[in-house]
């Protein structure tokens, strides 16, 4: 019975790889989702503040001229 469970786990891992998905998902980074970067302190030009990073740094995003 234990072999059956191990075979199911191997099959599941193979299906995840075939689908192109990560078996262990990466942690969500809200700063990167907003096209921002983490800087210590305040945001300087040409960046502006959009939030706070997980480590306490400022999430800064570059100005986009239209």
Q: To which residue do tokens 């740094």 refer?
A: 57
Task: Find the CATH number of the domain harbouring 47.
Answer: 3.10.360.10
Kindly state the average pLDDT of the residues 47-55.
92
pLDDT at 40 over 90: yes
From edge to edge, which strands make up the β-sheet containing 58-62? 37-39, 58-62, 47-52
Residue 42 CA to residue 37 CA, distance in Å, equals: 12
Q: For the chain, what is the domain count?
A: 1
pLDDT at residue 27, as a whole number: 74
Name residues whose C-beta falls within 8 Å of residue 52's C-beta, 6 or more positions apart in sequence: 58, 59
The parent domain of residue 41 ranges over: 3-62
Burial group, residue 59, by CB count within 10 angstroms (0-12, 13-18, 19+)? buried
Instruction: Share the mean pLDDT of the chain.
Output: 83
> How sure is the predictor about 21, in pLDDT bands with cuts at 50, 70 and 90?
low
pLDDT at residue 36, as a whole number: 92
Range of lowest pLDDT (15-19, 46-50, 62-66) = 15-19
Length of the chain as a residue count: 66
């Amino acid at each position: 019975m234990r072999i059956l469970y191990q075979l199911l786990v191997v099959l599941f891992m193979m299906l995840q790889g075939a689908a192109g998905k990560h078996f262990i998902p990466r942690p969500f980074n809200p700063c990167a989702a907003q096209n921002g970067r983490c800087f210590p302190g305040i945001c300087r030009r040409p960046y502006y503040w959009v939030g706070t990073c997980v480590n306490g740094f400022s999430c800064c995003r570059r100005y986009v001229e239209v």
